[in-house]
Amino acid sequence: MKYATPKGYEPNPDVVKRAVEIAAGSGASITGTNDPIEAVTGAGVIYTDVFVSMGEESMEGKFADFDGFQVNEDLVSHAHPNYLFMHCLPAHRGEEVTDGVVDSANSVVFDQAENRMWAQMSLLTLMCNRAAWDTYLELS
């Protein structure tokens, strides 16, 4: 697994170290880079999120820091031809992803959102149903 972030936006080193240790146990690897082309070259799945999260709208210059990280047709041309595109939604079209990618046949963002909805509904049902919760605790 490869991931790319702009300089200064790298994940917490302790979290990365732990993830690398867990991955190594299964024979997988995790590699970080500041080059998005390097990260997507040959990739079977490309996953992104918004560049500016809720509450960060006033962060001056953040968009400039993410220049070159937009998931667009040029970037995905380096991926495996049958790559899948994922995004946790809502996507900011024209910012972190282009319409051409999010609406492409490779995009599974709406299937991903539907799967998340069913998982969340199942958890809510479990937590709201006292009998199911008691059964869960007995089985744990």
Domain boundaries, the chain: 2-107, 109-140
Q: Which two tokens stand for residue 8?
A: 């200064």
Per-residue pLDDT of the chain (140 residues; tens, 9 = 90+): 999 999 999 999 999 999 999 999 999 999 999 999 999 999 999 999 999 888 887 777 888 999 999 999 999 999 999 999 999 999 999 999 999 999 999 999 999 999 999 999 998 888 888 777 777 788 87
Task: Say if strands 45-48 and 84-87 run parallel, antiparallel, or are unpaired.
Answer: parallel
pLDDT of residue 129: 81
* Residue length of the chain: 140
Neighbours of 4 (CB within 10 A): 20
pLDDT of residue 16: 97
pLDDT of residue 57: 78
Instruction: Give dist(CA 117, CA 123) in Å, integer.
Output: 10
pLDDT of residue 136: 75
In the chain, count H helices and then E strands.
7, 4
- Burial letters for 54-67: b for 16+ Cβ neighbours within 10 Å, e otherwise? eeeeeeeeeeeebe
pLDDT of residue 23: 96
pLDDT of residue 85: 98
The CATH class that applies to domain 2-107 reads alpha beta
For the whole model, what pTM was predicted?
A: 0.84
